Amino acid sequence: MEESLGKSLKKAKRKQVVKIILISGLMVLVMVPAMVIGSDKLATANCGLLNDSLYLHNRIAEPNIQIDSQVIRNHSVMGGEVVTNRSKEVAGYLVPWSTLTSTYSVIGGSVDHNEMIPGQQHSEEAIYEYDKQTKQKVASFYHPRIKDYSGGVTHDLATIGQLENHVAEVALSFDQPYTWQELSKTLPDTIQVKWLYMFSELLDESKGRSGGLIFGFSSEGDIDENFQQFIEDLEAYDQSEPSQFAPFLESENGKKGDEAAILGVIVTGKTSELAKLSELEFIRGSSIGVTAEIVPYINPDNGTNR
């Protein structure tokens, strides 16, 4: 009887082991695809968030830089890359700008800040910022309330006329804020205003460029619609309490686009026309950015975009 009981127990144990193996196999068959699908959904969602954040940053913090294409590369269930191809438009001439390669995964996204932040060139003659990939000079702004800049405030308009047969972009920094109503009457029709400098933090610039972001928006199109979109974008960009934009948003609350306080602009045009801007007394500083030689088969944009 004991022998029969032992056989029964062994048989029952074997059945239990088989049952456990079958259940475990079924769980693996169900859980693995579920985990793959879940990981893919998380990665895809974070890819979308990264994609949106790159476009948002471009709209408000990348002066006169346009996104030509933004594509996903090497996507898998664990993550991938978002590649942002960029350029600058200067009086009808396209100039290459650095390409961003940002990454995303199931746990979030990471913007390619290394390429967003310009490099700095120091010499005995000058200090300037440059795009790390293209080595093109970055047009720098000067806040009217920051008095001491390392290397001083540049006045490139004084010499830009020496660069013949070229088009260029120039960042114009004002001695105080002005409205679009005032500027549109003062700036000549022979140049194009491409971007409006609205806000930056008051940082110590006396020991070198701080790398602080410059915020503004494109002046092309309806100025009021662009300004209202800019306000919405700022609120979406920094939702911390208190937001770095709180004083600015409070001061500009309820204003129309042509009534807002503008600290500077980026303009483009022929160097011969840009040189004439040096006569404007309200320009505190001027900084040349990218340039392009005029070729016979591309006519520069001569007229105003206002």
The pLDDT value given to residue 127: 83
Which two structure tokens, joined as six digits, stand for 264? 């500077």
- How far apart are the C-alpha atoms of 215 and 15, rounded to whole Å? 70
Tens-digit pLDDT string for the chain (306 aa): 555 655 555 665 666 666 666 666 666 565 666 566 767 889 999 999 999 999 999 999 999 999 999 999 999 989 999 999 999 999 999 999 999 999 999 999 999 999 999 998 887 777 889 999 999 999 999 999 999 998 899 999 999 999 999 999 999 999 999 999 999 999 999 999 999 999 999 998 988 778 889 999 999 999 999 999 999 999 999 888 788 999 999 999 899 999 999 999 999 999 999 999 999 999 999 999 999 999 999 999 876 666
The pLDDT value given to residue 299: 93
The pLDDT value given to residue 122: 81
- Rounded to 10 deg, the angle between the 2-61 and 223-237 helix axes is 140
The pLDDT value given to residue 23: 63
- How far apart are the C-alpha atoms of 282 and 286, rounded to whole Å? 11
- The SS3 call for residue 24 is helix
- How far apart are the C-alpha atoms of 104 and 81, rounded to whole Å? 6
The half-sphere exposure of 227 on its side-chain side, counting CA atoms within 13 A, is 22
The pLDDT value given to residue 141: 97
The pLDDT value given to residue 201: 93
Reference 150, options 210, 214, 215; nearest CA is 210
Which two structure tokens, joined as six digits, stand for 146? 């920051």
Q: What is the dihedral of CA 129, 188, 260, 219, to 10 degrees?
A: -60
Which two structure tokens, joined as six digits, stand for 140? 């720098």
DSSP-derived secondary structure for 154-222: -BGGGTGGGSTTEEEEEEEEEEEEE-HHHHHHHS-TTSEEEEEEEE------TTS------EEEE-SS-
The pLDDT value given to residue 111: 95
In the chain, where does DSSP find H-type helix? 2-61, 113-116, 180-186, 223-237, 246-252, 271-274
> DSSP code of 133?
T
